[in-house]
Chain A
Amino acid sequence: MNKTLLIIKREYVSRVLKKSFLLVTLLTPLGIGLVIFLAGLFAAKGSQSTKRIVVKDESAMLSAKALEGKEITYELSNELLDSLKKNYVDKGYDILVHVPPYSDDTVATHQISYFSKEKLSLLQIEKIEEKMENVFRDYKLEHSTLDKVALKKLDVNVKLENAMLSENNKDAVGDKSSKFSSAIASGLSYGMGFLMYIVIFVFGSMVMRSVMEEKINRIVEVMISSVKPFQLMLGKIIGVGLVGLTQLAIWMIIIPIIITVAGVAMGGPATTPEMAQTTEAIQKIQQENPEVMQVFLKELSSINWALILPVFVIFFLGGYFIYSSLFAAVGSAVGDDLGDSQQLMMPLTIPVILAMVMIPAVFTNPNGPLAVFGSMFPLFSPIIMPARLPFEPPIWQIALSIFFLVAGVIFFTWVAARIYRVGILMYGKKVTFKELGKWMFYKD
């Protein structure tokens, strides 16, 4: 068997069969599932606040009709405040709201008070305040000379729709998408950028640690008396990369299953009244805004996946290769002092973090100079180009960016390999950047 393949196989198998790999791979989706389940449970608990509120209105200005509400039931009472205070709980109310005598229309701020066994949450207070504001406003309106119909006409709501013709097909009818599309694009953009960031750091440092381990173990001299240093480095990078892809693939299968299971657990046979209420609440939202889900799905399907996915995969692989080979070079140079590795990693962490910082600027201006520059420079492009993809950058820019990426992969892998081959045999020397530069030009 080819020696590089043997190395890839060992690097892959030894990691995949580790208990920690199994734990991380299985526990992460379970953790996500648990979080979703708990979030649903808490949401259900929260919406259980169908509180019964009794309102004592001193000036009898409020009507029962005005107080009708969806989530909270308000009832008026004629009893005296003092007796209500004593018996509102016995009568089955949760909260007693006291509206003091109404003075005159010029007062803007009205103080009302509540009595409750427990302190109300901010959300509950805001809900009651909002209700009371509306009721007071309507009351004031009725007793003023203003025309309610005329006032209604003043309500304005502007929706900016995207009518942009697509770049590739100028004859096409403009795809009228809502601002939703920008939100989805931004989310996708950030998501892909963030995924790259995680991949670079998690798997890059995995490669680095493994190189350091071989150097400290001294196995490396035995290894390179059998294989070329480049074969060893390449085998390691590909092996660890395959571990990453395996993990992602498992997650892509397991996470939807867990989400569905968690969803069914909450939406299926209502085992508790809380759950039934959550499902009802979700259904209610869907009934009230049927277009939201539809628009969301429509927008998702209108994204040019056929372009985004393959291009993302190219940048994913390119970015992984560039950074993991550089991490391997750093690992080979450090030896046993972890403190040194921090210093040598700096030039790798800086571009990654800079690229992450650039992402928000990329979605405010996806075709601006910063975005274009970022997607051409191979240390930034693996993060910036995927972030630009949902905004459909010009094809020539994608092509040029891929060209630079490939050139970058070749260049940085070469640089890393030159440093690596010297570094793995170098012991007991504190390595400076100047030293690393010299190593590149050492003869074999």
Chain B
Amino acid sequence: MNILSIENVRKVFHNYVALDQASFDVRKGSIFGLLGPNGAGKTTLIRIITGITRADEGQILLDGVPLNTHHPNEIGYMPEERGLYKKMKVAEQLMYLAQLKGMSHDDAKQSIRRWFERLGMQDWWNKKIEELSKGMQQKVQFVATVAHNPKLLILDEPFTGLDPLNADLLKDEIYQLNQQGVSIIFSTHRMEQVEEICNDIVLINKGKILINDSVAAVRNQFKEHKFNISTDRPASDWSLPSGFSADGSVGNVTTFKVESGRHSNELLSYLINQGISIQSFQEVLPGLNEIFIKLVTEASHSQTNVQP
């Protein structure tokens, strides 16, 4: 079951194609990474999902239903550029935003109370936004995004500007929400976060979808058959048999590549026969960062500019 289905979405801005036949699904209850270089069309896509703009072609299903005017109430969106009314009091501000998402006054109050307790913000109720530190403002912004109990959370670079402590806190809250069944879309450039947090990813470049799969599958797809092996003696004491090429070594750990037609187990039996004892053996999967850079550079070489 998908919380969100993007089907052949196309968006053209007067002289360039922001999104070109983009299609992908976001599984219900997943944490989904929306990746892409600057200007790839991520923000346009998010704005279409949140109802800020409309797609020229294609359709979007939220929980199986084509987007309609009630859907913004079921989505929580935290834009990359955060913003709050500086002169408003924290509670007033959150009440206002929650009510604009269709909550009743009482429900909004209750929900905000709960979040304040959860994040230890009880004392801020009557403070003005401008009196808060940047980190505190970020927390308020997060509550504003989730107070109306959205089914789908869209977070655009949520960790920028947060100190490690607050970033961890936010990460925990995101996991908790996810466990309660909220689907989360992450838009970010920070690949190590994606690897850590996300189940599935989509990589967009110049309005086109380059890849769409689970994080594990993507890494597997791009694996280069590299392994790390550590032995009881320094790497310099023994040499690799033919069909295996070294790819650097540190101390007792050797990285090697298995050439096509060969199997990593052959090396293991070779070493065992040599009397070298093996302490660890591990496949090296490429990081999303490398895959990202590889795919985007390849794409920009092969692609000519798309005309509308």
B82-90, B272-280, B295-303 - the one binding chain A: B82-90
One of B94-102, B243-251, B284-292 contacting the partner = B94-102
Q: Judge whether A219 and B75 touch: CB under 8 Å.
A: no
When the two chains form their complex, are residues B52 and A227 in contact, meaning their CB atoms are under 8 A apart?
no
CA distance in complex: A159, B101 (Å): 70
Which residue in chain A gives the minimum CB-CB distance to B144? Answer: A222
User: Is there an interface contact between A217 and B51, defined as CB atoms closer than 8 Å?
Assistant: no
Specify the chain B residue showing the minimal Cβ separation from A1: B99
| Contacts known (A6-B96, A10-B96, A222-B77); A444 close to B72, Cβ less than 8 A | no
- A221:B81 contact, CB within 8 angstroms: yes
B57 to chain A, nearest CB (A): 11
Report the separation of the CA atoms of residues A375 and B102 in the bound assembly, to the nearest whole angstrom.
Answer: 43
Q: Which residues of B contact A14 (CB under 8 A)?
A: 85, 87-88
Interface residues on A, range: 20 to 34
| Contact call A221/B100, Cβ cutoff below 8 A | no
Shortest distance in angstroms between B2's beta carbon and chain A's nearest beta carbon?
21
Question: Is residue B79 contacting chain A, with contact meaning CB distance below 8 A?
Answer: yes
A residues near B56, Cβ cutoff 8 Å? 443
Inter-chain CA distance A399–B96, complex, in Å, is 41
Q: Mark B22-52, 1 if CB is under 8 A from A, else 0.
A: 0000000000000000000000000100111
> Which of B14, B52, B86 has the most chain A CB atoms inside 10 A of its CB?
B52
Docked pose: A217 CA to B86 CA in angstroms: 8
- Measured CB to CB, the closest approach of chain B to A282, in angstroms, equals 48
Mark out the residues of chain A between 9 and 29 whose CB falls within 8 Å of any chain B CB in the assembled complex.
Answer: 10, 14
Q: List B residues 61-115 near A (Cβ within 8 Å).
A: 72-73, 75, 77, 79, 81-88, 96-97, 99-102, 105
B54 on interface, CB distance cutoff 8 Å? yes
Q: In the complex, what residues of B have CB within 8 A of residue A224's CB? A: 52
Asked whether A222 lies within 8 Å of B51 as measured between CB atoms, the reply is: no
- Which residues on the A side are within 8 Å of B47 (C-beta)? 425
Specify which of A3, A214, A226, A438 lies most central, judged by the most chain B CB atoms within 10 Å of its CB.
A226
Q: Give the residue name and chain of the A residue nearest to B96 (CB).
A: A10
Q: Which of B77, B85, B101, B105 contacts A219 (CB 8 A)?
A: B85
A3 touches B82 (CB 8 A): no
Are A222 and B54 closer than 8 Å at their CB atoms? no
By secondary structure, the B interface counts as loop
Q: Which residues of A contact B86 (CB under 8 A)?
A: 217
Which listed residue, B54, B75, B77, B102, touches A444 by the CB 8 Å rule?
B54
| Residues of chain A lying within 8 A (CB to CB) of residue B77 | 221-222, 225
How far apart sit A442 and B54, CA to CA, in the bound complex (Å)? 11
A218 and B99 contact, CB distance less than 8 A:
no
Instruction: Judge if B176 is at the interface, Cβ distance under 8 Å.
Output: no
Asked if A225 and B52 sit within 8 Å, CB to CB, the answer is: yes
For A223, list chain B residues within 8 Å (CB).
Answer: 100
B residues in contact with A128, CB < 8 Å: none
Task: Give the complex CA separation of A89 and B86 in angstroms.
Answer: 70
Contacts of A226 in B (CB 8 A): 72-73, 97, 100-101
- Bound complex: CA of A218 vs CA of B14, how far in Å? 24
Contact status B14-A219, CB under 8 Å: no
Closest to A13 in B: B92
CA distance A438 to B97 in the complex (A): 32
User: Is there contact, CB below 8 Å, between A3 and B100?
Assistant: yes
| A275 CB to nearest chain B CB (Å) | 46
Cα A427 to Cα B79 with chains together (Å) = 14
Beta-carbon nearest neighbor of A226 in chain B: B100
- Interface residue A220 (Cβ < 8 Å from any Cβ of B): yes
Residue in chain A with minimal CB distance to B156: A221
Give bound CA distance, A442 to B82, whole Å. Answer: 26
The residues of A that contact B96 with a CB separation of less than 8 Å are: 6, 10
Query: Closest CB of chain A to B136's CB: distance in Å?
Result: 16
Distance in Å: Cβ of B38 to nearest Cβ of chain A: 13
Could you say which residues of chain B place their CB within 8 Å of the CB of A222? 77, 79, 83-84, 97, 144
Report the separation of the CA atoms of residues A159 and B229 in the bound assembly, to the nearest whole angstrom. Answer: 117
A-B contacts, 9 of them at CB < 8 A, read A1-B99, A10-B96, A217-B83, A218-B82, A221-B81, A221-B83, A226-B72, A226-B97, A444-B54
Q: Spell out B's residues near A (CB within 8 Å).
A: 14, 47, 50-54, 56, 72-73, 75, 77, 79, 81-88, 96-97, 99-102, 105, 144
Nearest 10 CB-CB pairs, A to B? A218-B83, A219-B83, A225-B50, A218-B81, A226-B100, A221-B79, A225-B77, A444-B54, A217-B83, A226-B101
Given A225-B79, A226-B97, A444-B54: 20 more A-B contacts, CB < 8 Å: A1-B99, A1-B105, A3-B100, A6-B96, A214-B85, A217-B83, A217-B84, A220-B83, A221-B52, A221-B83, A222-B77, A222-B84, A224-B52, A225-B72, A226-B72, A226-B100, A227-B100, A425-B47, A425-B52, A443-B54
